[in-house]
Amino acid sequence: MKRAIPTQLSVALLILLVGGGALGGEFFLVKWLPKHRERVREETLELMPYQNAALGVEMQIAAGLYGKVEDFPGGVRITRPKFWSIPPALTLTSQPNPDATFEFSPQVLAKWQTQGVYQEIPRYHFERTKINHRDAVLIWQYANRAMLLTARVISPERIVEAACTPGREDEDLYMRACDESVRTLKVAGPESPPPPQPVLELTGSGGKLKVTR
């Protein structure tokens, strides 16, 4: 005749199992998961050197974006393939600067700045900035069911565009990877001359100082 397991022993085993599961879950949530996320973030944002002489480009690309490199006329597409998902991608293109100017024209800047309003583009944001001492613009927008960051940098020889999207990956993390990558763009060609320094002149009988530029 089989002996039944005492009720008290069954309850004790159940409590032990539930308690062990709770402790394991707490360890996962409190200890392992935050460290894992931080490790993934660091590995994704680690910058790796990239250079393309044909495009006149040198930059640092986040490891989370760096993967398969596909050349096409006038540009290159860099993707990090993901199974069953749209991968993050960085596309670089280069075209001649017909005006041989160091800065974008006011007309072009005004068009880019207002494009989001006129075309009703979701999450559109425009920023004019400097990237490695060159005139540049950054444009954020929502397109094709994903965010897209476009950087344009101008030199007298060429205009380089970098279009970066996180695909279906973590938007916050991979948009940061895009941002940190495009802000390292170095475009070949002569650098813009430094702005003129103000000159102090003595004017008038009282010997007053006058600042001229």
pLDDT per residue as tens digits for the range 120-176? 999 999 999 999 999 999 999 999 899 999 999 999 999 999 999 999 999 999 999
Single out the residue of 156, 49, 58 nearest to residue 99, CA to CA: 156
Q: Check: pTM over 0.85? Answer yes or no.
A: no
Residue 207 in this model has a pLDDT that exceeds 60: no
| pLDDT tens readout for residues 10-34 | 555 556 565 555 454 454 445 666 8
pLDDT, tens only, 150-160: 999 999 999 99
Is 198:211 a contact under the CB 8 Å cutoff? yes
